[in-house]
Chains A and B, each alone.
Chain A
């Protein structure tokens, strides 16, 4: 870790070391970068304002590994965390969460690691789709389904227009997207790529999305079993993404009407790799009684991924939904 900041555990206030993934005192996941003001370059002490758009210090050139806030967002009934993980040097996932009187918008994007400026792509897509859906929350339910699709398309355009420097081994900026918009007891989920949405209540455990991925296509076509596909080297290849070189086609949208209280979970593959089956994800979520806040559930889910290896960036968003709660 190159960026130096005074880090304090958000749960107990104990000081954290830059490399701590967990608070040594209370075990809370270290949500790093919550205080970006104190960031300086660890090599030369330059302030964060001197970091360029590619995250290099403009004075000494050192790459800033964690200069940007790893997001921990708490909006009460909706919360989430985006974490670098234990292996990757950057967090190329992005998270957007917003609640208002009309409802909730959550977006998770996962920058494609074989593309240039993946983190910028993910952040731009999450912001664009999130902003569009927040606007749409004020519209009627009838429009929300098309707004969900439009949000993903807009995010795709934004990513396609990002300036980027060509790289001999990497493709144009690209990312996945999964977004959920919840209003008046209805849930719309739109997705492109292999970031997922799960619904978990006390009875049901449902994977709402179908991965746009090579293994999913193999399983759908009956060519391979899920187990066979998962062990293939192509098991992480996605077939749809956002970006200038994205395959054509409309994003998929599904609508769900919860019948009893539960939690909507959006996540990047950094989490679901360790709990892919709906029942496995549900077990992790149900380990916490309904009184536990979405933020606490998010922290626990990220921690599970980190304990299992944290091989990828981990991003999760959790929304508590109770039928009939929101006013139409």
Chain B
């Protein structure tokens, strides 16, 4: 059984007339787990592997993808239902050789690997078709945690964005999907759309040889999940508006538009499946101002599992005319506001760069360098250095590099939403 614990961090004091309430809520899930509870968790896993013609060029790509799929299969614990899909301009089931999914065992894992070995590369790319096949396979195991890993090396060239969007809408809530792009001929924005809709991660694996480790870690992580369909339920008072709800750690995921109304004042946001882990959420709520001295509940942040409240935190607002209270900066809120600003600057900088607007790109990426180095985000600075030459990090003075490695740029794009936590006591 997973137990959840919520803690809110905020400065609840607002100046007279102020209406914006910010809070960071940390959710910690603890698994009183033994391997037996994990084994008891019903789960289904599908690996979707791109077998389009480009995967054969160089041959290492397909070979690595096959090895990675085998590694993923080896990570499946006994009892998990699984299947393997090969995708090009169409989608086909590699394993099992019958309808639906098959229960993992020593025998089925070996058979699956035998089929994976036969994969060859030809044809185009139609990601929506692959996902639709995965959806129909997951539907044969209606309960439990559904997770997929999808690998592609190219654009969704055999479908319109509308077709993909239609499939994604059908798949939302049916399974989660971590997406990986191998090489540099795929579209970050496209995979991000898939990952966002399906509550998964997106990343670049520039070197095919690195696929094995990446797949193993994704599936191991999926196997740790024990609580499915956890909803973030946010109650707000009448007259209030939710400015945003974002997961801010371990990655920034904007959930604001992902909500489903429970009643007039309550919205559920999907958070997917949880294992033993900790996530942070930044909630910003606009409320009607109250007179100085009054307090209101700006939000009640609950985590809901099977319609039961697993934990909750209160987001409060207290109006005061004491400036020393209302001007206090909450460390957690400031920290994640800063991280979001870095991510935004990077996204805007890369967009401008693609559009050929070098001035804006230089300014935005320079700002990202300045913010990231100020706040000790060394990994982010390193990623930025793949795209810009840093002259002076303190002032954010940078020059766009002429010889940018596409993989570096894509890594910056996919990883700019990864955040670091507030250092205790810093």
Question: Interface residues, chain A, CB within 8 Å of chain B?
Answer: 2, 43-44, 52, 54, 56-63, 89, 165-166, 168
Contact = CB atoms under 8 A, between A and B. Distances in A.
A61 B287 contact: yes
Contact of A54 (B239, B294, B314): B314
B236 A61 contact: yes
Which range contains the number of B residues in contact with the other chain?
20 to 34
Given A57-B237, A166-B5, A166-B7, A63 B314 contact: no
A89 B296 contact: no
A4 B165 CA distance: 52
Given A57-B237, A60-B237, A61-B240, A89 B314 contact: no
A135 to B, nearest CB: 34
B9 interface: yes
A59 B237 CA distance: 6
Secondary structure class of chain B's binding surface, majority of residues = strand
A168 B26 CA distance: 11
B312 A63 contact: no
Given A43-B290, A61-B237, A56 B297 contact: yes
B295 interface: yes
19 contacts: A52-B297, A56-B296, A58-B265, A59-B237, A59-B238, A59-B265, A60-B237, A61-B237, A61-B238, A61-B287, A61-B296, A61-B297, A61-B317, A62-B237, A62-B290, A62-B296, A63-B295, A63-B297, A165-B314
A2 B293 CA distance: 10
A58 B313 CA distance: 15
Contacts of B314: 54, 165
Contact of A165 (B235, B238, B239, B312): B312
B313 to A, nearest CB: 6
B298 interface: yes
Contact of B7 (A2, A44, A61, A168): A168
Interface of B: 5-9, 235-240, 265, 287-288, 290, 294-298, 312-314, 317
B239 A60 contact: yes
Contacts of B288: 60
Q: Main SS of the interface on chain A?
A: loop
Contacts of B237: 57, 59-62
Nearest to B287: A61
Nearest to A56: B297
Contacts of B235: 58
B238 A60 contact: yes
A44 B9 CA distance: 28
Given A60-B239, A166-B7, A54 B297 contact: yes
Given A52-B297, A168-B7, 9 more contacts: A43-B296, A44-B238, A54-B297, A59-B237, A61-B240, A61-B287, A61-B298, A62-B237, A63-B294
Contacts of B317: 61
B235 to A, nearest CB: 8
A62 B296 CA distance: 4
A54 B8 CA distance: 16
A89 B288 CA distance: 21
A125 to B, nearest CB: 23
Contacts of A59: 237-238, 265
Contacts of A165: 6, 312-314
B5 A89 contact: no
Nearest to B332: A168
Contacts of B313: 165
Q: Which of B236, B237, B317 has its CB near the most chain A CB atoms (within 10 A)?
A: B237
Contacts of A60: 237-239, 288, 296
A43 B291 CA distance: 10
Contacts of A62: 237, 290, 294-297
A61 B239 CA distance: 10
